[in-house]
Chain A
């Protein structure tokens, strides 16, 4: 089965062709027009600029993936229906509806978060990248799988009991982790996109230099809060450089970046391990744009290993394996939407191309 997948929920326009043959996913095409360059001048994601760019890019990208004009060879069309920014989502949804209708192919509506989760099903067939701790070989995540989804707009812990079965365990109560990265980068005068910039600068800094808070790290639930951490960085910057934040340079900036990043990572890891303890999953999945953060990958991998060190697979508690997407698939992309779409198509979960609407608040569970 071969699916054409379209993703336009935020600032990436992406179209992919993904196939499923004998249980094996293959990315035949996955083209993403990263718009980071356009957005850099604005210091953030600008929805209408994004939507305008989606509209400008999407047909050239469709041409680029080189599907037959009559849809021959494509068995279904998948599209991100939400959550996201309505003007952006609409561009992809309307194209998908048009193609499904014109080609008379079934249409699959995919939740953007579900796509991120399924990005790890693609990684197992590609060469392991050294920095991440992916299980060897072709292991697939076993259920139940605990998913930590972290991006600019999301910070969620989701329990996946089986394909298509999700339970929301916890989420951010204020800012998403990626949003905190972007805003702290702005406070530090670093360019957009903030996350990678902070990680880069943090390499030169001391993660223990400043004792930023780990919000809600000791609370019993698995919810997150990052607004207070952002405020703590602002308060710190005011205290060391009250007249001009711009005067903070070099090591000072690196220490703030490293200490801030460590606070986010510690919080994400602690909450995920609490959820591991509560739900006893067989696998942990880390995905979303912030999963590209190597410090987070390493820390979560270490925490899982130390939690289960000495526990044999035939003991009471089976070792839990961590799955992370390839770095190239951490950001928004259509290939992950294609995988989620193929799984839904296999279950016969289709939608009517005449009535599908983009839903900015689409829920996973």
Chain B
């Protein structure tokens, strides 16, 4: 699905709509150039899941964790591989212990810096900066029609 946004509030609204389908355990890849709205989109996800402190860029820290209180989702893992250039730098971060846990929604910026296959996305969001910003959201999950929502 393709969504257009003209400002931060609209981006957060798209993110909030996206969050409605999340049940915990999702791994969301966010791709796009510097300033294309990736962190803003994650901020929208975090706010929609009830995290109300500032969501800062994890470019420096690599990983930020936001605790939230939902029925199924207890944590948002905000990962940013912007500064990673060598696959060998990722395993020591021990992210595999947390990514994909049933109570965690993981958002990964610059996922293409990790070797393909190291992490498996359930959703992909391609971000384009500009006027308007364009977010193309693809669910990589098999269709789950008739599958009861757990929320």
Contacts and interface: CB of A to CB of B under 8 A. Distances in A.
A99 to B, nearest CB: 24
B57 interface: yes
B50 interface: no
B61 A174 contact: no
Contact of A360 (B35, B61, B90): B61
A176 interface: yes
B34 A183 contact: yes
A42 B85 contact: yes
B6 interface: no
Interface in A167-200: 171-176, 179, 183, 186-187
A179 B60 contact: yes
B34 A46 contact: no
Nearest to A48: B89
B142 interface: no
B64 to A, nearest CB: 9
A234 B59 CA distance: 17
B54 A174 contact: yes
Interface in B24-74: 33-36, 39-40, 54-57, 59-62
Contact of A46 (B39, B55, B86, B131): B86
Contact of A235 (B54, B62, B129): B129
A71 interface: no
Contacts of B56: 172-175
Nearest to A232: B35
Contacts of B61: 83, 85, 153, 360
B57 A175 contact: yes
Contacts of A176: 57, 60
B60 A152 contact: yes
B82 interface: yes
A152 B86 CA distance: 21
Given A85-B62, A175-B57, A49 B82 contact: no
Given A179-B60, A227-B57, A360-B61, A234 B33 contact: yes
Interface in A41-79: 42-49, 51
Given A51-B92, A175-B56, A234 B85 contact: no
A238 B83 contact: no
B130 interface: yes
Interface residues of B, number: 27
Given A47-B62, A47-B89, A48-B92, A231 B35 contact: yes
A172 B39 CA distance: 14
A234 B129 contact: yes
A80 to B, nearest CB: 15
Contacts of B92: 48, 51, 87
A230 interface: yes
Contacts of A174: 39, 54-57
B143 interface: no
A186 B85 CA distance: 15
Contacts of A86: 93
Contacts of A227: 35, 39-40, 57
Given A234-B34, A235-B35, A173 B60 contact: no
B62 A231 contact: no
Interface string A149-176: 0001100000000000000000111111
Interface string B109-121: 0000000000000
Given A48-B88, A186-B34, A231-B129, A175 B59 contact: yes
> Which of B35, B54, B129 has the most chain A CB atoms inside 10 A of its CB?
B35
B85 A46 contact: yes
A49 B89 contact: yes
B84 interface: yes
A183 B93 CA distance: 23
A44 B62 CA distance: 12
6 contacts: A48-B92, A49-B86, A174-B56, A175-B59, A183-B59, A233-B35
Given A48-B88, A174-B54, A235-B35, 14 more contacts: A42-B83, A42-B86, A43-B83, A46-B86, A47-B83, A85-B62, A152-B60, A153-B61, A172-B56, A173-B54, A174-B39, A175-B57, A238-B129, A238-B130
Interface of B: 33-36, 39-40, 54-57, 59-62, 82-86, 88-90, 92-93, 129-131
